[in-house]
Amino acid sequence: MKKIFFIAVIALAATFEMNAQQFKVITSVESIVPNGLGRSRIVNALEDKDYREYTSVQTDEDNTRNKSKRGEIRVKNFEETKLLNFYNIGGIRFQNIAANDALITSMINDMVANGWELAFVNSAVESEGGKGDGQGIFITRYIFKK
């Protein structure tokens, strides 16, 4: 009886996968450039990178640098989903914001349907810096885990 119980516990434990958690970052960039001149997108990298390949260690005694080129860091395989800009010639467009919300919601729902959980959301704004700047983005990073 003890042997059967022990074997059952081992079999049950073997069915549970003990993987480390995975994380996935998807970024939305929404233009806040006046007159609708900017570009807005959801960006999703389709390839993985190992940060250690691009990390250097620097100390007083030893200056070991990573010799990789910046171009090697670039991801060439990614999805780009078009979003609408916050502004057009008439000013802020609330319809555009609602449309972007619908697309972002669709993306989140798709990720959840594929087994991901939305763990964190981080946002930042770089707005116009004064006369003649004409630049600005609203960036949001959606961090999913599995």
pLDDT digits over 80-97, tens only? 999 998 887 778 889 999
Q: 78-104: string of b/e by CB count within 10 Å (b at 16+)?
A: eeebebbbbbeeeeebeebeeebeebb
| N-term to C-term CA, the chain | 37
Mean pLDDT, rounded, of the chain? 83
pLDDT digits (tens, 9 = 90+) for 93-136: 899 999 999 999 999 999 999 999 999 999 998 876 667 666 78
Contact 107, 121 (CB under 8 A): no
